[in-house]
Chains A and B, each alone.
Chain A
Amino acid sequence: MAERKYSEEHEWIEIDGDIATVGITNHAQEQLGDIVFVELPEVGATLNKDDEAGVVESVKAASEVYAPIGGEITEVNEALTDNPGTVNEDAEGDGWFFKMTIADPGELKDLMSESEYKDFIED
């Protein structure tokens, strides 16, 4: 099973071989409310850890999505452009944002496990 990690900015990242899939957590979508707009990064863009990778807007507010690790964007979830509500329905599944290479596997160590993230959002 692929390994899943979480960032303090409420992104999830799933590592499958040398590719990572990134989205926002179910907790994040609950906090945002109805999502009406998603801006995705460009395929081929190289991002450093914590760089702005996209934007997610709900009826209430806009917030940035950050790259939880550094790497190159290999694929984006185009379906979100027309159906941003998918993020509300399935944030940690069909609502994924982008896939990227893993520039430095060492950066994954800074991220939280599922149980650590659970504690983090409860604090």
Chain B
Amino acid sequence: MTEESLKTTPLNALHRELGGKMVPFAGYDMPVQYPAGILKEHTHTREAAGLFDVSHMGQAWLISEDGTDPAIALETLVPADVQGLTAGQQRYSQLLNDQGGILDDLMVTRPVADFGTDRLYLVVNAACKDQDLTLIADALKGRVRVERLEDRALVALQGPKAAEVAAKLFGADLATMPFMSQARVSWDSVDLWISRSGYTGEDGYEISVSNADAEKLARALLAEDAVAPIGLGARDSLRLEAGLCLYGHDIDETTTPVEGGLTWSIGKRRRAEGGFPGADTVLAQIADGASRKRVGVQPEGRAPAREGSKIQNAAGDSVGVITSGGFGPTVGGPVAMGYVPSDLAKPGTEIFLSVRGKALPAKVVKLPFVPPGFYRG
């Protein structure tokens, strides 16, 4: 992709001013790191608070056209209990194909009451947003319509000091808002849609703001001592240590939510009723177990195993593949995730990773690699 065709977020000029090293990512010109570097940015997020530009992600309204709850229509495409969301609640789910394979993962929010009861707020991955939103609009035609929120940016404030920063800037209520809930805040006459969620394993918020006010918001957050700008490099190492999936790597059209270790995101009612794409496959896997599973992998020694490294059993047979891998700054060593046959998925199982022609010993471990810092009230 040539640089000319890259899209930019409303924070592009700020990234450059902050010394961001810009790279193409999902069609956008994004900062992979700032002058501090990935290790320091990672550690800063775990110890204080990091600010991430995630404006490349797709935000959209899903609005009822026929007067019924739009959650009913959306449930025909995803396995989460969307109808069960109360106003201001958010849930993680996946768009599935007819084989139960994952087309994308997404966040679904039933917005707080003042947005009205006819709509859901969706956030989808940058690389998938066009096909996702087209698929949803086509599949649910006549029942709901998709309204893309192209005029809004999205930033994430993540880390143990995120709550005190949010409370200071946006109001004391922010400190006690529940994990996976939404609030609408007027800050200096700017309309902020804030959810207590993120992609780092830390406490924090994702804040939707108009493109026009995005830089003002980012500068106000960065003016706080606890907050530093964080690039995509640390975003990846943070989510990997947190055991969170990166779409297109750890989960894709060939993996089901059960294989991907996402069964927790499939509601009880949906398990009983089905009614989502690939339900036969997915529900059979929930009942009988899947033949393979996504697991945490801890290489012994210091050599990181990267995506694509083959996983071998003790006999040297190739039995799986690493889907994400690298150095975990908080762990202080290499960390990885990958798929193994279910009989090798038990934590403690000895496996080997083929790295540069050598079989490096490794162990299956429980995810996440670092204890989560989510706010639990």
Contacts and interface: CB of A to CB of B under 8 A. Distances in A.
Interface of A: 33-34, 36-37, 39, 55, 57, 59-62, 81, 84
B327 interface: yes
Contact of A62 (B32, B38, B233, B306): B306
B2 to A, nearest CB: 20
A57 B233 contact: no
B299 to A, nearest CB: 10
Nearest to A81: B302
B302 A59 contact: no
Nearest to A82: B302
A61 B303 CA distance: 12
A36 B327 contact: yes
B33 interface: yes
A33 B33 contact: yes
Interface in B299-331: 302-304, 306, 326-327, 329
Contact of A37 (B32, B37, B233, B303): B303
Contacts of A62: 304, 306
A37 B33 contact: no
11 contacts: A33-B37, A34-B37, A37-B302, A37-B327, A57-B327, A59-B233, A59-B327, A61-B306, A62-B304, A62-B306, A81-B302
Nearest to A36: B327
Contacts of B303: 37, 39, 55, 57
A34 B304 contact: no
Contact of A55 (B33, B326, B356): B356
B237 interface: yes
B39 interface: yes
Given A33-B233, A55-B356, A60 B38 contact: yes
Contacts of A84: 302
A37 B233 CA distance: 17
Contacts of B329: 59
B39 A59 contact: yes
A59 B326 contact: yes
Interface in B272-311: 302-304, 306
Contacts of B38: 33-34, 59-60
Indicate the member of A36, A55, A62, A81 with the most B CB atoms within 10 Å.
A36
B93 to A, nearest CB: 31
Nearest to A37: B302
A55 B330 CA distance: 23
A60 B304 contact: no
A33 B334 CA distance: 16
A36 B327 CA distance: 7
Contacts of A33: 33, 37-38, 233
Contacts of B356: 55
Contacts of A34: 37-39
A59 B43 CA distance: 13
A117 to B, nearest CB: 22
Indicate the member of A37, A59, A81 with the most B CB atoms within 10 Å.
A59
Contacts of B237: 59
A65 to B, nearest CB: 12
Nearest to B329: A59
A84 B39 CA distance: 13
Contacts of B39: 34, 36, 59
